[in-house]
Structure 1
Amino acid sequence: MESIYEEIKVGKCVGQKTIDGEEIPMVLQPAKSHQDDISSLLSTLRDNKEWFEKELVKHSAILLRGFNVQSAEEFNEVVETFGWDDIRYVGPAPRTHIHKRIWTANEGPLSEFIYYHHEMVLIKECPTKVILWCDVPPPEGGETPFVPSFRVAERMLEEFPEAVKEMEEKGLRYTFTALSKNDTASMRGRGWEDAFLTSDRAEAEKRANALGMDMEWQPNGAAKTILGPRSLTRVFPGRKERKMWFNTIVGMHGKEFSSATFADGSELPENAVKRCGEIIEEESIQFKWQKGDILFLDNLALLHGRRPSLPPRRVLVATCK
């Protein structure tokens, strides 16, 4: 539609890639210098919701840059402009509620790499959109790389057709062990009491079951969650019938507090898992955060992570159905 380009122009950023004919991320900037205020942005987004959502699915990621979004409150206004339903985060990352729909992103040590994942990929209902706002850009590192999931599926099918077929047919099983209380010294340090909003074991089990997971209690008070069987790939409407690599086998396989196996408990092929991690990195896209940036990710199409960073770095997040 022509009218939006009077308010917003399509820009560029270092790190963009052209994938299957589309620039990822799509970069949107103010068309005129006097439009870099929140009221102008909100008005433009409000009037062009359908166009924006269509472009998000088309490009998988949209970066809003130069709109001078200055606070968590203003970021929340941007999120709420679209009318997308909120979905509460469920997962191992320690997070703090900031304002209405806005939370901190993973509060684990900035020195650690957060591995690529689709947000809440193992939960029955995961977000379709992950929205990030940069309050304090890091002085070095700290990028939020993302990966077109269909490219990983394509390349794994090319290199490991038999292993992919076996994982598709057998399904996957995951486990993760969470301590009782939060441990912010770990990027996966969210305790089960915080995750399930209760210190009552029976109630925690009930809430876990509702999300599609079983629980086993450990002698030290930790909770081992078991999820499966889960699929290796998914196909979602409106995304060119692409097969998405919708799993977390690389991120959870053989780790200290987690595992990823075939649904029957047998081990996944080590060489395929290792090579998958290399392919994901090879396909990654990233840019340098600038203050006020807002990044919209199609969670059904992209894996995302976090590079190690020098402090300070502050990125807030909202997740939408």
Structure 2
Amino acid sequence: MEFSCKDFKVGNVEGEKVLDGETIPLVLKPSEPNKSDLASLLLGLKNKKDWFEQMIIKNSAVLLRGFDVKNAEDFNEIIETCGWEDIRYVGPAPRTHVYKRVWTANEGPLSEFIYYHHEMVLFKDNPKKVILFCETPPPEGGETPFVPSFRVTEKMLKEFPEEVKLMEEKGLKYSFTALSNNNTGSMRGRGWQDAFGTSDPIEAEKRVNALGMEVEWLEDGGMKTIIGPRNLTRVFEGRKERRMWYNTIVGMHGKEFSSATMADGTEIPEHVVKRCGEIIEEESIQFKWEKGDVLFFDNCALLHGRRPSLPPRKVLVATCK
């Protein structure tokens, strides 16, 4: 790998993979032992802003490790230094605002697995970058596995060419039910009032419609959102014309609060969904969190999730355009 940067040196992490000559994640460490402080990191990011963004796109994930990043305030300074525009999270995951542009990651039970997804994939306006900061690493488990999305498309085309063609032609339709109130005991337990920032049903419906979704109100006060048609795959500029598996059919198909079908209502075969889930897991990459780690995802290129863990685990997040 070609690399020349006086502000960082390349490191390694157990679990990294080399794919088409790209190391995922690219690990960047202090260039010298005395350059691990936050000020040196911020200066390096400022000096190499364009280069750093190119590394995120080239390698799909960049891990900053070995720097003295202590808390949400430090993390926010890193985000601000990078200079990317903020995009507010919309979705079912229970989250709490921590500081300025920083939020908690999904606060659902640590005992549960959060399935692989591109952040806010269902919405037309979604983040290009997802940045995670590990304030408290879990004693066991709790990894954030991620998957090169184009590899899923390649394997699905090879194993299910006709099914992929049909889903691509018809498009996809999803439904999701948001509860009337928050349920912190569920990974998808964010009520519609919190999710859409209003307790007024009329205003909430306007906001949902503005995101390109239809609304169906339920007798228990919950809101069913209907989303579609949506693409099965997408190609993003600057990413080698790779065809990303930019959907959430495995995560939403046949679940308690959600569904995924083709846009005309045709069911997606169960065996196709099952095998897709297996492929995603086969292609996953993960590493053990360390305190102070800051991980940058190219949300166009990677699906990501969360392994079950023992407490405590505290990972914070920011999402950017």
Q: TM-score, normalised by structure 2?
A: 0.99
Residue 74 of structure 1: CA displacement? 0.5
Match of 1:117 in 2: 117
Instruction: Provide the rounded CA distance (Å) in 1 between the counterparts of 2:172 and 2:142.
Output: 31
2:128 corresponds to 1:90: no
Match of 1:67 in 2: 67
Q: 1:3 to 1:143 in 2, by over 3 A?
A: closer
Instruction: Provide the rounded CA distance (Å) in 2 between the counterparts of 1:250 and 1:118.
Output: 12
- Structure 1 SS opposite 2:5: helix
Paired residues, what number?
Answer: 320
2:268 corresponds to 1:268: yes
- Structure 2 SS opposite 1:153: helix
2:278 corresponds to 1:278: yes
Residue 4 of structure 1: CA displacement? 6.3
CA contact (8 A) 1:215 1:224 kept: yes
- Structure 2 SS opposite 1:182: coil
Instruction: Provide the rounded CA distance (Å) in 2 between the counterparts of 1:198 and 1:55.
Output: 39
User: Structure 2: which 5+ runs fail to align?
Assistant: none
Instruction: Provide the rounded CA distance (Å) in 2 between the counterparts of 1:115 and 1:24.
Output: 20
2:160 corresponds to 1:160: yes
Residue 41 of structure 1: CA displacement? 0.3
CA contact (8 A) 1:4 1:44 kept: no
Match of 1:207 in 2: 207
The superposition leaves residues 52-89 of structure 1 with CA deviations (integer Å, 9 ceiling, x where unpaired) of 01111000000000001001000000011111000000
Q: 1:3 to 1:263 in 2, by over 3 A?
A: closer
Match of 1:248 in 2: 248
- Structure 2 SS opposite 1:6: coil
Residue 270 of structure 1: CA displacement? 1.1
Instruction: Provide the rounded CA distance (Å) in 1 between the counterparts of 2:65 and 2:156.
Output: 34
Instruction: Provide the rounded CA distance (Å) in 1 between the counterparts of 2:42 and 2:122.
Output: 33
**Equivalence map 1:40-189=2 (5 Å):** 40-189=40-189
- Structure 2 SS opposite 1:154: helix
Match of 1:35 in 2: 35
Superposed structure 1 runs of 4+ greater than 3 Å apart: none
Instruction: Provide the rounded CA distance (Å) in 1 between the counterparts of 2:177 and 2:265.
Output: 16
Residue 50 of structure 1: CA displacement? 0.6
Residue 3 of structure 1: CA displacement? 10
Match of 1:287 in 2: 287
The superposition leaves residues 8-41 of structure 1 with CA deviations (integer Å, 9 ceiling, x where unpaired) of 1001000000111110000000021111100000
Residue 175 of structure 1: CA displacement? 0.3
CA RMSD of aligned residues (A): 1.0
Q: TM-score, normalised by structure 1?
A: 0.99
- Structure 2 SS opposite 1:70: coil
